[in-house]
């Protein structure tokens, strides 16, 4: 046993660089695994978890200022009444859309416990706490904002899971609150119950908020889950590859030890022990690093999910991740060590020392006649001399580049998905209407927008809830006044509506009501019954069934949703929105659609994907470095000979880097179709999971030039992995290399 332990420790010490690479790979893999697990946790029912944790309000009720009775038997807990007012917050020229400002002294009452993400809670008048949506990315603690002409200091940023207010001020801030209404937040014994509250003038149920949040999230969750799973799988494969490669490199030593009397079991124990000596501290440190990294990442994820207070990674992950990775590394080492242990001593020494002949020699000869500098042909030929080592390197490159190809595709699909849903290119400006003076109604607002310099097109968007007679399922009808064919809904099949009796519909509507393009559908709206023919299917990323049609085809007067505006080429959307807001006054609010919350979610998601991609690429790069180091070490004698024969340090560098080029090119060439296949295979599955039919811009994201560039990433990864060992080889003294023999 002592001999085994000494052998394990001396091997780990002797091959310091290789031990370091295994250490860093296991460390990064542990960090990646923990992050991936954290991401999976964050994407699992984020709203429900936040709702439970924050004692979210089942019902957000608004009462008249004079109301005084707020209780009902169905109510199990309540917070409030809080005085509220709907107001616009501004900081300099920046203005937020009108929202509820509530007067509230308690941060954590029985219902709706607010979670602070920055600063502190209110202590008196003159202060305001903003919701994360109101704060956005530009308003911070310490800023001064104006609400109803009152100057307030931002002292904190806090989140309510059911978004009960855009901002909170001290109840005594009467110059802001002004007695417009009262807000009471309820927990109900039966969340679906409708309490009898006589003075209630308006309400929002939590199901609606949940539907909105999850509707925004649902299409994205499968993407995040897919990436987290990719992170787990890739980390596992790379650890196995690096560890197995390290053991294969030690075959000669295994043979020597067998000759000295080691049994196969002792050989396995020595190698597994050597790897475990490195893997255990690496996995523990990696888990700690992953946990530290997960704090900002989970915060980002939860901002993306519109909920805050990151769920912490459960304690068992801290045990499971290092234990799992250590076990994995041990098993990865035991496999090849067991094989080597079963070989005869001389066979193990031979396998660990001599390159394989046959095809390798013939290919080297064939390459030697190419009109290329000798160091390059030497380098290009070397992978063929050691097919097993080459396979290990190629797998490392394949995994790394596949990750990059898949991650790049996933990022582009996510952007395309958001663009398809938000239509930010076609509709760069959205205008919401408050109905307040000076303009009053929608027609007047539309006239102002049409007259605004830079306006290319404008359409009035109305919306109404509807039902299909005989069905209990609700559907939403979006009705446009005037031409709306330019608004950019991706058409999946059929055509855009051409007349009032026609409509296009989202996949959820078609599946919910069992209709197809070409069918007629009768819907019941507050304005009466209408029959329309579905002439096309459009992409819709919401969780509700949506039908889009001309407003002229609907009876009654559907509610005004706002205006969708296209601007002339070359017009700055921010300047346009600012000028339009100045012209609209308090009646309406124009916003650059790219800055809406949905797009901040995409940004946060992309940051997560980029972090994981970076980690995985680093792990893959280290895998390559590891194999090149092994390869260079093995060839140290040959390099020494070549140096004595007159190979310059530059030529040695060229030879070592060339030795990786073919492997890199082959790995990259295989990884591109593999990454594409993975993308093409997984995207529709993700779409199905989210109940979406994905439009072609979401699926066909790879351009030929990009694929060539991604394929070249294999060569780049291999070359980068080879750079450091190439430098060592170039600097090594020939006399030392020859003595090493």
Partner 1 sequence: MTDLIRLRAVSKRYEQTGPPALDGVDLTVAAGEAVAVMGPSGSGKSTLLNLVAGLDRPTSGDVEVAGTALTRLSEKALARFRRSGIGIVFQFFHLIDDLTARDNVLVPADLAGIGRRAARARATELLETLGVAGRADAYPAQLSGGERQRVAIARALINRPPLLLADEPTGAVDAATGEQVAELLRELNRNGQTVLLVTHDADLAKRCATRTIEVRDGRVTA
Using a 10 angstrom Cβ sphere, with 0-12 exposed, 13-18 middle and 19 or more buried, the burial of residue 6 is exposed
Which of 198, 357 has the CB closer to partner 1? 357
Which of 42, 642 has the CB closer to partner 1? 642
Which of 265, 358 has the CB closer to partner 1? 358
- Nearest approach in angstroms of CB 259 to partner 1 is 21
Task: Say if CB 634 and CB 606 are below 8 A apart.
Answer: no
Strand duo 502-506 + 546-550: pairing: antiparallel
Q: Measured between alpha carbons, how far is residue 668 from residues 655, 664, 718 in Å?
A: 20, 6, 10
Which of 381, 449 has the CB closer to partner 1? 381
Helices (H), 201-314: 206-217, 221-248, 251-259, 264-304
Give residue 421's Cα distance to chain centre: 17
85: left (phi over 0), alpha (psi -120 to 50) or beta: beta
Which of 155, 730 has the CB closer to partner 1? 730
Which of 383, 714 has the CB closer to partner 1? 383
- Nearest approach in angstroms of CB 354 to partner 1 is 7
259: left (phi over 0), alpha (psi -120 to 50) or beta: alpha
Give residue 28's Cα distance to chain centre: 19
Which of 289, 734 has the CB closer to partner 1? 734
Task: Say if CB 118 and CB 303 are below 8 A apart.
Answer: no
Q: Which residues contact 484 (CB under 8 A, 6 or more apart)?
A: 459, 461, 548, 550, 564
Which of 601, 630 has the CB closer to partner 1? 630
Nearest alpha carbon to residue 635 among 362, 389, 370: 389
Which of 13, 365 has the CB closer to partner 1? 365
Which of 354, 473 has the CB closer to partner 1? 354
Residue 242: helix, strand or coil by DSSP?
helix
- Nearest approach in angstroms of CB 639 to partner 1 is 10
Task: Say if CB 58 and CB 162 are below 8 A apart.
Answer: no
From the CA atom positions of the chain, what is the Rg in Å?
32
Phi and psi angles of residue 644, each rounded to the nearest 5 degrees, phi first: -65, -25
Give the integer Cα–Cα distance in Å for 476 and 467. Answer: 8
Q: Measured between alpha carbons, how far is residue 248 from residues 281, 547, 667 in Å?
A: 23, 62, 20
Nearest alpha carbon to residue 85 among 186, 155, 169: 169
- Nearest approach in angstroms of CB 736 to partner 1 is 8
Give the integer Cα–Cα distance in Å for 14 and 6. Answer: 12
Which of 373, 528 has the CB closer to partner 1? 373
Which of 235, 651 has the CB closer to partner 1? 651
- Nearest approach in angstroms of CB 273 to partner 1 is 32
Give the integer Cα–Cα distance in Å for 537 and 543. Answer: 16
- Nearest approach in angstroms of CB 253 to partner 1 is 20
Which of 160, 651 has the CB closer to partner 1? 651
Nearest alpha carbon to residue 137 among 572, 599, 575, 600: 600
- Nearest approach in angstroms of CB 379 to partner 1 is 13
Positions in the binding site for partner 1 (CB under 8 A): 354-355, 357, 360-361, 364-365, 368, 374-375, 381, 385, 637-638, 640-651, 733-735, 738, 741
- Nearest approach in angstroms of CB 373 to partner 1 is 8
Strand duo 429-433 + 559-567: pairing: antiparallel
- Nearest approach in angstroms of CB 635 to partner 1 is 10
Angle at 395 between CA 17 and CA 265, to 5 degrees: 60
Which of 367, 713 has the CB closer to partner 1? 367
- Nearest approach in angstroms of CB 714 to partner 1 is 25
- Nearest approach in angstroms of CB 344 to partner 1 is 19
Number of CB atoms found within 10 A of residue 516's CB: 11
Give the integer Cα–Cα distance in Å for 612 and 583. Answer: 45
In the beta sheet, which residues pair with residue 146?
90, 151
Give the integer Cα–Cα distance in Å for 243 and 623. Answer: 9
Give the integer Cα–Cα distance in Å for 51 and 43. Answer: 14
Which of 1, 369 has the CB closer to partner 1? 369
Q: Which residue has the tokens 């992409």?
A: 539
Q: How many residues does the chain have?
A: 741
Number of CB atoms found within 10 A of residue 296's CB: 12
- Nearest approach in angstroms of CB 364 to partner 1 is 5
Which of 130, 657 has the CB closer to partner 1? 657
Angle at 210 between CA 207 and CA 215, to 5 degrees: 120
Task: Say if CB 87 and CB 147 are below 8 A apart.
Answer: yes
Nearest alpha carbon to residue 102 among 133, 118, 79: 79
């Amino acid at each position: 046993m002592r001999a085994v332990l000494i052998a394990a420790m001396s091997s780990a010490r002797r091959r310091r660089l290789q031990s370091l690479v295994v250490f860093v790979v296991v460390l990064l893999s542990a960090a990646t695994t923990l992050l991936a697990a954290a991401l999976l946790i964050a994407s699992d029912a984020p709203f429900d978890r936040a709702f439970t944790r924050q004692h979210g309000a089942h019902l957000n009720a608004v009462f008249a200022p004079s109301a005084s009775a707020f209780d009902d038997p169905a109510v199990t807990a309540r917070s409030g009444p809080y005085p509220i007012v709907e107001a616009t917050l501004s900081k300099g020229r920046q203005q937020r859309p009108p929202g509820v400002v509530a007067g509230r002294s308690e941060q954590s009452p029985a219902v709706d416990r607010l979670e602070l993400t920055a600063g502190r809670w209110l202590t008196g008048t003159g202060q305001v706490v903003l919701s994360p949506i109101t704060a956005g990315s530009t308003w911070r603690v310490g800023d001064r904002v104006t609400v109803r002409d009152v100057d307030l200091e931002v002292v904190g940023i806090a989140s309510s899971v059911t978004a009960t207010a855009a901002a909170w001020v001290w109840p005594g801030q009467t110059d802001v609150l002004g007695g417009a209404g009262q807000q009471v937040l309820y927990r109900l014994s039966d969340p679906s119950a409708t309490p009898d509250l006589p003075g209630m003038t308006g309400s929002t149920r939590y199901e609606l908020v949940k539907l909105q949040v999850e509707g925004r999230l649902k299409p994205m969750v499968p993407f995040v889950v897919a990436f987290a799973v990719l992170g787990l799988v890739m980390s596992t494969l790379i650890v196995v590859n690096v560890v197995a490669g390290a053991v294969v490199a030690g075959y000669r030593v295994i043979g020597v030890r067998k000759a000295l009397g080691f049994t196969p079991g002792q050989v396995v124990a020595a190698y597994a022990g050597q790897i475990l000596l490195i893997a255990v501290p690496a996995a523990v440190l990696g888990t700690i690093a992953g946990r530290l990294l997960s704090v900002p990442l989970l915060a980002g994820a939860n901002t993306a999910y519109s909920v805050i207070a990151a769920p912490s990674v459960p304690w068992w992950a801290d045990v499971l991740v290092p234990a799992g990775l250590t076990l994995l590394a041990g098993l990865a080492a035991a496999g090849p060590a067991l094989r080597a242990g079963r070989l005869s001593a001389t066979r193990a020494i031979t396998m660990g020392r001599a390159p394989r002949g046959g095809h390798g020699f013939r290919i080297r000869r064939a390459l030697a006649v190419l009109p290329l500098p000798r160091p390059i042909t030497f380098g290009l030929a070397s992978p063929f001399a050691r097919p097993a080592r080459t396979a290990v390197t190629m797998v490392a490159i394949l995994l790394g580049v596949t990750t990059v190809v898949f991650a790049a595709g996933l990022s582009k699909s996510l952007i395309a998905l958001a663009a398809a849903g938000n239509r930010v290119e076609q509709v760069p400006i959205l205008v919401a209407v408050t109905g307040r003076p000076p303009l009053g109604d929608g027609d007047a607002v539309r006239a102002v927008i049409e007259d605004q310099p830079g306006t290319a097109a404008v359409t009035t968007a109305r919306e109404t809830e509807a039902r299909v007679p005989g069905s209990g399922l609700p559907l939403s009808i979006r009705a446009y006044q005037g031409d709306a064919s330019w608004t950019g809904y991706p058409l999946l099949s059929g055509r855009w509506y051409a007349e009032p009796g026609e409509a296009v519909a989202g996949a959820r509507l078609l599946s919910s009501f069992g209709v197809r393009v070409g069918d007629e559908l009768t819907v019941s709206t507050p304005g009466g019954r209408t029959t329309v023919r579905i002439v096309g299917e459009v992409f819709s990323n919401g969780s509700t069934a949506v039908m889009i049609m001309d407003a002229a085809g609907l009876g009654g007067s559907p509610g005004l949703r706002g205006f969708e505006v296209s601007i002339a080429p070359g017009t700055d959307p921010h300047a346009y929105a600012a000028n339009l807001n100045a012209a609209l006054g308090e009646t309406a609010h124009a916003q650059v659609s790219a800055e809406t919350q949905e797009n901040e979610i995409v940004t946060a998601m992309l940051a997560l994907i980029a972090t994981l991609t970076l980690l995985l690429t680093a792990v893959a790069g280290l895998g390559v470095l590891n194999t090149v180091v092994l390869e260079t070490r093995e060839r140290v004698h040959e390099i020494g000979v070549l140096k004595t024969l007159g190979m310059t340090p530059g030529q040695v560098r060229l030879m070592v880097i060339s030795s990786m080029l073919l492997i890199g090119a082959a790995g990259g060439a295989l990884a591109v179709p593999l990454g594409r296949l993975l993308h093409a295979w997984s995207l529709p599955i993700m779409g199905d999971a989210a109940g979406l039919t994905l439009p072609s811009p979401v699926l066909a994201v790879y351009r030929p030039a990009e694929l060539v560039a991604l394929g070249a990433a294999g060569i780049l990864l291999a070359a980068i992995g080879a750079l450091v060992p190439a430098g060592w080889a170039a600097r090594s003294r020939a006399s030392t290399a020859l003595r090493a023999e």
